[in-house]
A and B are shown apart, each in its own frame.
Chain A
């Protein structure tokens, strides 16, 4: 099969960069660091949380995108190890989250303590005068915060 420009892996990466996360469509599955490996015959993905309901939808979206672009032969495999970390969200992904109204997670998730976590920056007004309302939010990957400067509640991507 002939593909325009670059290697198949690069072509597949470009396709996946346009596959949105089903829960947070502002970012792609590549931005979130869910795609771990791409080669000519397989794509390896990893779930963010073990029980994330979006996991199946993500695999289906990737399958559909591959099929639609002539990569029906490419397998999708799932791996748990190493476990996904919010540190794998790309810089571009972080900016997209912020623009979408979700505070991106701080870097250094692997070493971060659950307590004493840094205050989130309000995605609306940029203030750091914020407080956590609930460590568990509307999806497994988000916590609920509130800005004390502009009074807006907002989601923060959990440090994980």
Chain B
């Protein structure tokens, strides 16, 4: 797969895996409104994944569509960041993951809306409006849990304590990003970091939470080096196509 196709694949994989993770909350969330919210966010992510994975298949030009890429690849072929594959944990851990990721995705899509490559710009313009809701939802809950009870605060801190190590990977750049930027499709992710830090810090301050201490970043997702969790997620997500290859309805 060429670099521009890989760039679309990475965007699709991030959304797909997060959408699948969030779907695990369906019917299990702490309140009906939260259940609806997480399912809606999951749906948006899967929708975005459909567009980006279809685009990746189209650029690749070997007849694979979004479904083929989602359901007929093995774990080491997935290029999502490690953050999105992390288990849901408790509700606070899910919110910590969503908060870090949605603010990154919001900034990314805001920039990509201006991309010269209209295929990327069109998906980004549509997704940016959806992701703005996700970032607001996650921020509201970070504040509510962080500035809540002793218990909710402790859980929010624990959630960030786990998820924080995966944040740096979001902004890492490699030859795929450089090629995508040169082709007018990609965004300089490293340049988004300052704005992301500012948005995160503003919400953390309102939530009366301290910024987690810097730690060595855990990376490798873009190169297919994943945590043990992704394989389990795929065994669930891909079950039908593995058991009944080519099944449709």
Interface residues of A (CB under 8 A from B): 47, 49-53, 79-84, 114-115, 133-138, 140, 144, 160
Contacts and interface: CB of A to CB of B under 8 A. Distances in A.
B44 interface: yes
A140 B40 contact: yes
Interface stretch (B95-103, B122-130, B159-167, B238-246): B122-130
B121 interface: yes
Contacts of A49: 43-44, 47, 130
Contact of B47 (A50, A83, A135, A144): A50
A114 B140 CA distance: 12
A51 B47 contact: yes
A80 B54 CA distance: 13
Contacts, number: 72
B118 interface: yes
A114 B136 contact: yes
7 contacts: A49-B43, A50-B127, A84-B126, A114-B133, A134-B37, A135-B133, A144-B33
A117 B45 CA distance: 24
Contacts of B178: none
A134 B50 contact: no
Contacts of B133: 114, 135-136
A11 to B, nearest CB: 30
Contacts of B20: none
Interface in B98-122: 118, 121-122
Contacts of A79: 122
A50 B125 contact: no
A80 B37 contact: no
A135 B48 contact: no
Contacts of B68: none
A50 B51 contact: yes
Contacts of A52: 43, 47
A140 B39 CA distance: 9
Interface in B22-65: 33, 36-37, 39-41, 43-48, 50-51
B177 to A, nearest CB: 23
Counting from the closest, the 10 A-B pairs by CB-CB distance are A51-B47, A50-B47, A134-B33, A81-B122, A51-B43, A136-B40, A136-B37, A80-B122, A83-B126, A83-B125
Given A114-B136, A136-B137, A83 B129 contact: yes
Given A50-B51, A50-B127, A81-B122, A137 B44 contact: no
A26 to B, nearest CB: 21
A53 B57 CA distance: 22
A135 B132 CA distance: 12
B115 to A, nearest CB: 12
B179 to A, nearest CB: 23
B126 A80 contact: yes
B161 to A, nearest CB: 27
Contact of A114 (B41, B46, B126, B132): B132
A93 B40 CA distance: 24
Nearest to A133: B33
B125 A81 contact: yes
A134 B136 CA distance: 12
B237 to A, nearest CB: 15
A53 B123 CA distance: 17
Given A51-B48, A144-B36, A136 B41 contact: yes
